[in-house]
């Protein structure tokens, strides 16, 4: 359960004084955010502070207590929102270290796609699989300064920015609200612990071949069991196209895998099982006639779950900024 911190209490207890002083200030952030930078860390003798958070959710107050910090003898410096931010260039550097743009597919459009003019401080980042208008509404409401959109919202060249097309409306709103946009897409797919590693993690230990596309399991697993593992991992239904030579009990040792739409990448893979988000009817027929069974799990479903790992990596390298997963980021297809 997450609580939103609405007040931070700093108690100063100098050894030379019997009466403590209290400093109150507002802190609007997730209670899970690191609070170490809130109080300056200079060395001092004789003064310690106990830091607690009064949190509220559904009218119920809770208190989170943190370990004592050492603070200056003569002052407590409370950091402003600007102190808790990072400049956009620094955040982009972190994203590029995690998923270098040079590793992206040659056809892709990754990196910083929308950059506000002048200096741009980032306090909060919103991660989403697709930058839809609903996600854009959420970003504006939350007041974020950067959106990390797995799929690049700008892919085909834009000849105009008009209100008649939704993607162009999104770009205009980013500019109007001074929100930067970054897309890692296929660079994150092939990164360590990126999209493809996350998708394959449910199948157990494996070695990688063919540029990371093919995973060879340390021990063969029944095809039906692999389908069940993938379904549990995604928390969503999967669909299976059986090759003529396979049954649900057939042992599988080699899995070729690509998040999203992987038919072209998996076409020539030497594997008993292909795993991807989507394939066309005829691509499925080609695969099964080549002797490979196919597991499909919907395009965005095969990708979205990896964003939590990317957000956590950014949080670890930039603990003073807030990272958020978009709640409005849902796929266009829903069961009925």
Q: Which residues are annotated as a binding site for a divalent metal cation?
A: 151, 189, 299, 303
Secondary structure class of 242 (helix, strand, coil): coil
CA atoms 73, 75, 76, 80: torsion sign: negative
Both ends of the chain: CA-CA distance in Å?
A: 30
Helix (H) or strand (E) holding 25: strand 21-25
Q: Quick one: which H or E segment has residue 183?
A: strand 180-183
Query: Cα(193)–Cα(208) distance, rounded to whole angstroms?
Result: 13
Q: Give the contacts of 206 (CB within 8 A, at least 6 positions apart).
A: 200, 215, 216, 217, 218, 255
Residue set of the binding site: 151, 189, 299, 303
**What's the per-residue H, E or C state across 45-91?**
CCCEEEEEEEEEECCEEEEEEEEEEECCCCCCCECCCCCCCEEHHHH
DSSP letters along 266-281, please? HTT---SEEEES---H
């Amino acid at each position: 359960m997450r609580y939103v911190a609405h007040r931070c209490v700093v108690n100063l207890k100098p050894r030379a004084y019997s009466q403590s002083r209290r400093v109150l200030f507002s802190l609007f952030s997730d209670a899970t955010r690191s609070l170490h930078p809130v109080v300056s860390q200079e060395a001092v003798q004789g003064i310690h502070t106990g830091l607690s958070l009064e949190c509220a959710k559904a009218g119920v107050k809770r208190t989170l207590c943190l370990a004592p910090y050492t603070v200056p003898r003569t002052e407590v410096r409370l950091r402003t929102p600007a102190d808790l931010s990072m400049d956009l260039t620094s955040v982009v550097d972190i994203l590029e270290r995690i998923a270098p743009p040079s590793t992206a597919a040659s056809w892709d459009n990754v990196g910083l796609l929308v950059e506000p003019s002048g200096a741009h401080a980032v306090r909060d980042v919103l991660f989403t699989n697709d930058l839809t208008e609903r996600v854009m509404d959420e970003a504006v409401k939350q007041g974020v300064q950067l959106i990390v959109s797995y799929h690049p919202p700008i892919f085909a060249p834009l000849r105009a920015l008009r209100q008649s097309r939704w993607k162009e409306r999104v770009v205009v709103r980013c500019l109007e609200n001074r929100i930067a946009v970054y897309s890692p897409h296929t660079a994150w797919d092939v990164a360590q612990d990126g999209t493809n590693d996350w998708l394959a993690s449910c199948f157990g230990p494996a070695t990688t071949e063919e540029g990371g596309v093919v995973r060879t399991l340390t021990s063969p697993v029944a095809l039906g069991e692999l389908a069940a593992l993938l379904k549990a991992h995604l928390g969503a239904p999967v669909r299976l196209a059986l090759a003529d030579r396979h049954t649900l009990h057939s042992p599988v040792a080699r899995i070729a895998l690509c998040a999203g739409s992987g038919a072209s990448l998996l076409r020539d893979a030497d594997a008993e099982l292909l795993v991807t988000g989507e394939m066309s009817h005829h691509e499925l027929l080609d695969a099964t006639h080549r002797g490979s069974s196919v597991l499909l799990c919907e395009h965005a479903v095969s990708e979205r779950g990896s964003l939590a790992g990317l957000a956590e990596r950014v949080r670890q390298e930039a603990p003073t900024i807030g990272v958020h997963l978009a709640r409005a980021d849902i796929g266009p297809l829903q069961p009925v």
